[in-house]
């Protein structure tokens, strides 16, 4: 679904949640859900910790997470355009998809996803 500005709008129910991921991995591996949840949560915690330290996190063929600095800029309050607001610089996490993910995303959308 697209909005007026051409961006894709997220529909509720379209997200893969951590819980769904845990259930799926547990059923496919035979591990109990508590152990899978613990491993998944620790993995996410280590990723965040590495990003906090300024490191990039690379998963071959999947993609790279890295922290970049967004410059300060001038913004305006849409309700009061005469009010100028200085937006301070801040760190943001960017994701650059890897080779395999790019190939998968470049494939034409199937009619089942519409």
Does residue 99 lie in a domain region?
no
The verdict on pTM exceeding 0.85 is no
| Residue span of the structural domain in which 43 resides | 16-55
Residue 77 has a pLDDT of: 85
Residue 1 has a pLDDT of: 47
Does residue 7 lie in a domain region?
no
Number of domains composing the chain: 1
Does residue 30 lie in a domain region?
yes
HEC letters along the chain: CECCCCCECCCCCCCCCHHHHHHHHHHHHCCCHHHHHHHHHHHHHHHHHHHHCCCCEEECCCEEEEEEEECCEEEEECCEEEEEEEECCEEEEEEEECHHHHHHHHCCCCHHHC
């Amino acid at each position: 679904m697209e909005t007026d500005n051409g961006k894709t709008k997220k529909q509720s129910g379209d997200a893969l949640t951590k819980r769904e991921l845990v259930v799926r991995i547990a059923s496919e591996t035979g591990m109990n859900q508590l152990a899978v949840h613990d491993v998944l949560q620790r993995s996410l915690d280590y990723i965040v910790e590495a990003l906090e330290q300024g490191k990039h996190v690379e998963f071959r063929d999947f993609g790279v997470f890295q922290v970049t600095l967004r410059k300060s800029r001038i913004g305006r309050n849409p309700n009061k355009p005469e009010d100028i607001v200085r937006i301070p610089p801040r760190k943001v996490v960017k994701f650059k998809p890897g080779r395999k993910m790019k190939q998968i995303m470049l494939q034409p959308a199937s009619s089942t996803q519409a």
